[in-house]
Structure 1
Amino acid sequence: MKVMIRLPLGEYFEAFIDLLKDNFDPFFKGMKKGVLSIIDHIEDFLHFIPWWLLIILVAILAWRLSGKKLGILSAIGLYIIYSIDLWSEMIDTLSLVFSATFLALVIGIPLGIWMAKKDMVERIVKPILDFMQTMPAFVYLIPSVIFFGLGKMPGAIATIIFAMPPVVRLTNLGIRQVPEDVVEAATSFGSTSGQMLLKVQIPLAMPTILAGVNQTIMLSLSMVVISAMIGARGLGEVVLSGVTQMQIGDGFEGGIAVVILAIVLDRITQAVGTRTNAKKTS
């Protein structure tokens, strides 16, 4: 007769979450206030800009970065979103994506630099990043809701955690791939550690770092859509409503809007990386 021993990992996790909530509640409240302030300011700014002006600005940006074709396609895509009456939802989604991406970069890029400078930090952080990237996206929603309730805030926190690993990894990789002879030459000219980082390593690693930024933006957009399940507004809410209420047309329109937004953001950020790489090699 087999005796099965069950390891109560779920109970340990619940106890750990309760411990954090009981002892760090003021910290989580302060974090919620700060992150919501960032989201609300970005959202108010984007809502303040007339829809036609925002389309023109995005089209000009895309045109300058990648050429006429991308500029025209960006304008057409954004006008389609406006014409199917999902402009406000797109702005809500965009605000959450920008906020989560900004915070992910503020945390992720310095962490990647630290990993590149310290092998011990890299050995410690790499398994954590592996864990973060293999964990199903829906699991991040659970602790976020426990700590911050429903709404935009838990969606932003889950998005930050889910989208951060690529920029950490690629920042670390980019700095480590800077040629050793370039580092030695800068050292021989008397560069300090800070000058080496800011004037040599980061500029040379910038194309790789921007590739990480691109991936972070794309992951943020995908997670923001999933976050509609916990009350985050935006295009994800439209898609979720289409699925749960069998409103096929509305769900399809929401999906099309997400695809258009993803393509525009992806092509623009890729164009930034391409231009940076061209300047590096010229």
Structure 2
Amino acid sequence: MSWLTEIPQLDRSGMTSLKKIIDEAFKGFSRQYGEGIENFFKPLLDFLIFFEKLLLATPWWLMIAILVLITQLAARSVKLSVGVGVALLCIGFLGMWEDTMRTLSLITVCTLLSILIGIPVGILMSRSDRTQKVITPVLDIMQTMPAFVYLIPVVILLGIGRVSGLIAVVIYAIPPVIRLTNLGIRLVDKEVIEAADSYGVTSMQRLWSVQLPLAMPNIMAGINQTIMMALSMVVIASMIGVRGLGLPVLQAINNQYIAQGLLNGSAIVVLAIIFDRVSQAYAKRSQHNIGGQND
């Protein structure tokens, strides 16, 4: 009667055989298709390396000026723009400029890739309940699966390096922009859509001219969350050879360098605050503009 109190389990030999079958199957897949997968992602690696070199080659004063200008154009806040400039100057003064630029390049590319993939997927989900039911469990797995688990197959397929880190970051960070794009489009007032249809617009015209603009605050919130989650993966990505602010933090953990860990961790926080404040300010401004147009 032990089956009433204990869950039946495979014996040790059966479990070992099952694990071996899975491992051998994945290794066989890697040997057969690994090179093709690497070639597929090579343009992405080339772009990431080019963008990182571009940021590192740009004079620090010009880079700060560009980032402050982007902040001002997005947020239209002098106080925020000055704060961004001062924060970046402090990072450079403390000797973390190069690592910050490497992290900035990785997060920027990850965010752009997440947007290019996430928004179309969110649009597909908003147009079909069946598609939403299929994709939602996948997003749940992507968000709840520990990052270390999906690092294993990524590293086996692509090896240690930038691309593996980038893909791992995108897998972890992309769900919010997909979910909130889907939600934002679904929340568009049906009366507005009916009014647009009464003018004889096509499906694509309705999407680009009505649904996406009205869903933009939600989409921007999704992009904001994607950036925050990407930054939270910086230290984990450093474990597979991704250089940037995460690597000194990892070294500080291994060697108990408290000051190094705090300084580089603070630089990551500063980047997070900059991205967060700028994206939120832009989202609020766009929402205000939409509200003014509706009035």
**TM-score, normalised via structure 2 length:** 0.90
Output the CA distance in 1 between the equivalents of 2:284 and 2:22: 44
- SS at 1:141's partner residue? helix
Determine what percentage of the aligned residue pairs are the same residue.
42
- 1:178-205 alpha-carbon deviations (Å, 9 max, x no partner): 1101111111111111111111111111
Shift of 1:12: 5.7
Tell me the amino acid that sits aligned with residue 154 of structure 2. S
Asked if 1:149 is matched to 2:159, the reply is yes
- Within 1, Cα distance between the matches of 2:79 and 2:262? 26
Q: Which residue of 2 aligns with 1:68?
A: 78
Deviates more, 1:2-11 or 1:14-23: 2-11
Q: SS of the counterpart of 1:24?
A: helix
1:24 is aligned to 2:33: yes
Q: CA deviation at 1:162?
A: 0.4
Looking at structure 2, the residues matched to 187 and 19 of structure 1 have their Cα atoms a distance apart, in angstroms, of 53
Query: C-alpha distance in 2, partners of 1:113/1:160?
Result: 18
Unaligned runs of 5+ in 2: none
Over 6 Å off, 4+ runs: none
**Counterpart mapping for 1:106-255 below 5 A:** 106-255=116-265
Deviations 1:213-244 (A, max 9, x none): 11111111111221001110000001001110
> 1:58: how far off?
1.8
Is the 8 Å Cα contact of residues 66 and 268 (structure 1) preserved in structure 2?
Answer: no
Q: Structure 1 residues 2-11 or 141-150, which shifts more?
A: 2-11
Distance 1:14 1:272 in 2: 47
Q: Select which of 114, 119, 136 maps to 1:104.
A: 114
**Structure possessing the higher radius of gyration over alpha carbons:** 2
- Aligned-CA RMSD value: 1.8
Residues 47, 88 of structure 1: 8 Å contact kept: yes
Give the match for residue 34 of structure 1. 43
- 1:140 positional shift: 2.4
Change beyond 3 A, Cα 1:11–1:183 = farther
CA distance in 2, matches of 1:10, 1:105: 36
User: Structure 1 unaligned runs (5+)?
Assistant: none
Give the drift of 1:11: 4.8
More displaced stretch, 236-245 vs 38-47: 38-47
* Contact preservation (8 Å) 1:96, 1:156: yes
1:52–1:13 Cα change, 3 Å: farther
Match of residue 94, structure 1, among 101, 104, 110? 104
Q: State the Cα distance separating 1:15 from its structure 2 match.
A: 4.5
Q: How many matched pairs?
A: 282
Q: C-alpha distance in 2, partners of 1:100/1:150? A: 17
Q: Could you tell me which amino acid in structure 1 is paired with residue 45 of structure 2?
A: L
SS state at 1:150 partner = coil
Q: Which residue does 1:54 correspond to in 2?
A: 63
Equivalent pair of 2:238/2:250 in contact (CA under 8 Å): yes
TM-score, length-normalised on structure 1?
0.94
